[in-house]
């Protein structure tokens, strides 16, 4: 089919303004989304996501496990088609979401967890290819070495896991863990981004966030 460019109709590039304080920077995924949309302008050949997205957010806090369960409902033609589920730490603060994503800020005011969901026209046979292409475009949007380095990438059918190391922001840089899933008419990505100096403290929390991503048929 050629190069696949992923666009979501009606969604604007996000730069996540500060909520409670000054100096909060845009998340890694938000910046990469901007770059991807600039790379694949409307009218280009490829794979386009054109359906309206109606996503609602359901939040439930589990005191026992100290997590918040976030669910994004992906709809098409007015009915829910899939539910995207992710768990984030209970003490991470929700930032203002857009219609198709949610983002949480850690208590250190630097690390972030992010989830985004969108409808996609791909069956079980096509989904592995769609997930691989979306992950590759996200990785390429960072521009590669010397500022960004792909440390790890693993494909398992319709699920892609990867890790990026970045030299920005100075002086420590940051680490991004991410997972992409294509399933049941939905394409989802979640990530957890931490500064390198905080990685040892937050690595378990971040990897738990990424591993918790699920895409299920709507009830």
Count Cα neighbours of 129 within 13 Å in the Cβ-side half-sphere.
12
**CATH number of the domain that 193 lies in?**
3.40.1000.10
Number of domains, the chain:
1
Q: At what angle do helices 28-39 and 127-140 cross, to 10 degrees?
A: 100
Environment class of 88 (CB within 10 Å of its CB; exposed 0-12, middle 13-18, buried 19+): buried
The whole domain housing 198 covers 28-52+93-212
Note whether residue 78 is domain-resident.
no
**What size, in residues, is the chain?**
219
Note whether residue 118 is domain-resident.
yes
Q: In the numeric block, which tokens belong to residue 211? A: 């591993």
DSSP run (H or E) holding 191: strand 186-195
Note whether residue 130 is domain-resident.
yes
Note whether residue 134 is domain-resident.
yes
Q: What is the pLDDT of residues 91-120, one digit of tens each?
A: 999 998 787 999 999 998 989 999 999 999
Note whether residue 73 is domain-resident.
no
Note whether residue 127 is domain-resident.
yes
Note whether residue 115 is domain-resident.
yes
Work out the number of other CB atoms within 10 angstroms of the CB of residue 20: 9
Q: In the numeric block, which tokens belong to residue 28? A: 């890694």
pLDDT at 15: 33
pTM: 0.73
Note whether residue 189 is domain-resident.
yes
């Amino acid at each position: 089919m050629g190069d696949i460019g992923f666009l979501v109709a009606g969604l604007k590039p996000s730069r996540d303004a500060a909520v409670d304080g000054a100096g909060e920077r845009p998340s890694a995924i938000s910046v990469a989304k901007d770059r991807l949309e600039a790379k694949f302008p409307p009218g280009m050949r490829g794979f386009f996501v054109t359906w309206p997205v109606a996503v609602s957010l359901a939040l439930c806090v589990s005191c026992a496990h100290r997590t918040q369960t976030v669910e994004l409902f992906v709809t098409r033609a007015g009915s829910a088609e899939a539910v995207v589920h992710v768990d984030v730490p209970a003490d991470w603060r929700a930032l203002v979401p857009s219609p198709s994503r949610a983002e949480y800020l850690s208590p250190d005011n630097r690390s972030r967890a992010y989830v985004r969901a969108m409808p996609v026209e791909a069956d079980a046979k096509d989904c592995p290819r769609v997930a691989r292409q979306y992950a590759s475009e996200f990785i390429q949007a960072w521009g590669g070495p010397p500022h960004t380095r792909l440390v790890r990438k693993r494909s398992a059918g319709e699920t892609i896991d990867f890790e990026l190391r970045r030299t920005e922001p100075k002086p420590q840089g940051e680490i991004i863990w991410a997972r992409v899933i294509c399933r049941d008419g939905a394409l989802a990505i979640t990530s957890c981004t931490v500064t390198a100096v905080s990685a040892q403290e937050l690595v378990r929390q971040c990897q738990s966030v990424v591993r918790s991503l699920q895409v299920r048929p709507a009830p």
